[in-house]
Structure 1
Amino acid sequence: MTTVLIADDQPMQRFGFRMLLESQDDMTVVGEAANGHEALQLIAQNQPDVALMDIRMPLLDGIEATRRIIRTGSRTRVLIVTTFDLDRYAYDGLRAGASGFLIKDALPEELLSGIRAVASGDAVV
């Protein structure tokens, strides 16, 4: 079972991700965070396999949250999922230690296969 944390400041986006992930027999959502600080707390508590991390969030953005997750030595792998198709964001996220980068307009199957790939140690871009 792959455990996933959803970090996104938009409640409807988190709801959509949760509905998709919970429809899978091999995935379970262990928490939802509305900002990077909440994500860090929930990752420390739950140690999910994968964190879906939005970039633009209040208080602490997804790039800095990713950097801090990696710095702690957590086993959680980060898959950045954002609406912004900018090379700079992809580069910054991967440089911070993310295992992958997807645009939110990706097909549901692409998101699911991305989560599975990242959980198994592969990279997704």
Structure 2
Amino acid sequence: MNPVMHVEIPVADLARAIAFYQQWLQVEIDAPVQVHDCVMAYLPFDDDAGGASMALVHGADYLPSERGARVYVGVQDLDASLARALQAGAALRFGPAEAGAWRVAEIADSEGNRIAVQAPTTA
């Protein structure tokens, strides 16, 4: 079992964040749901697949930040993914750069969170 089961990305404006992540990752995000004292919108996930689930979360205890934990989003084509992210309103913070068998970059998402993007290098 992977030690990370679920990631929650803090957002200030849930509708804006949903629009950003849908455009960037080319996915449909579930309708927001109330969970405890916050509102969450889950990105697609499969309980039987490896890796963690992820949700965008708006609530009093969730503050977007460039200085918090880094979430690494795996993609197949780093350049295409970065282009979509920038078109959706992200700001490039780092890279792209080679890191062994990977290419990585970091963006600031629509809410100001620093998100890493990682793809395998091509031969």
The normalised TM-score by structure 1 is 0.31
Judging by fraction of residues, say which structure has more strand. Answer: 2
* Structure whose alpha-carbon radius of gyration is higher: 2
| Larger RCO (CA within 8 A; separation ≥ 6) | 2
The normalised TM-score by structure 2 is 0.31
